[in-house]
Amino acid sequence: MEYLSINDKLLFLEQKRWAEGFSFVGGVDEVGRGPLAGPVVAAAVVFPQHARIPAVNDSKQLTEEQRIELRHAILEVPGMQYGIAVVSVEMIDKINILQASRMAMRQAVSQLENLDFLLIDGLPVPDMPVPCEAIVKGDAKSASIAAASILAKVFRDELMVDFAGQYPQYGFERHKGYGTEKHLEALKSYGVCAIHRRSFAPVRDIIAPPPEQLNLF
């Protein structure tokens, strides 16, 4: 297992806040905004100062095997804190995916025992309990956010594999609910199952197909 050096660019944001006097600097990220099925999942991570941190990276840049190996290494860091939150398909359909993603982030952060500054992947999230900085593409710029992205991604992927056992015809274990060609074909063949997001257009159109346009020519 490789580890980040103290001067690694992925620790610049954490080092900056530690130097300002913040002792517990965390990162939060979510996965699952885009899929047509399954929940949205967020994770939050706080590494202790001077911890030996695995060489994390944006989860999207890693293979499944690398993510699983890094998940184990992240959780083995002495003194690290983490939280994972899941927001259901029903809630996504009720409040929309943006608000559901923010809810998942807030719930993940609320599980941290010690936190005094938070790095957020992407855009600002209101109603966080501590001072925050939103970082566009933060999972490629912050070790804490990158670690959170890995924990969230592996957790959600495992959920989708479990769902594949309940709904084997959709191939959730392969595409994890994203709108791949195979997934769309399965939707057309088998209809909508309990974990599909009914507010998302491809699913919504199967439930209530739009009226055919009149042929005026």
Amino acid identity, residue 17? R
| Maximum Cα interatomic distance, the chain, rounded to a whole number of Å | 72
Structure tokens at 113: 């025992």
Tens of pLDDT, residue by residue, the chain (217 residues) = 899 998 899 999 999 999 999 999 999 999 999 999 999 999 999 999 999 999 998 888 899 999 999 999 999 999 999 999 999 999 999 999 999 999 999 999 999 999 999 999 999 999 999 999 999 999 999 999 999 999 999 999 999 999 999 999 999 999 999 999 999 999 999 999 999 999 999 999 988 876 554 444 4
Residue 145's φ and ψ, nearest 5 degrees, are -65, -40
CA 18 to chain centre: 25
> What pLDDT, on a 0 to 100 scale, did the predictor assign at position 211?
59
Q: Residue 27 class from Cβ within 10 Å (0-12 exposed, 13-18 middle, 19+ buried)?
A: buried
pTM reported for the whole predicted model? 0.94
Q: Is 9-158 a CATH 3.30.420.10 domain?
A: yes
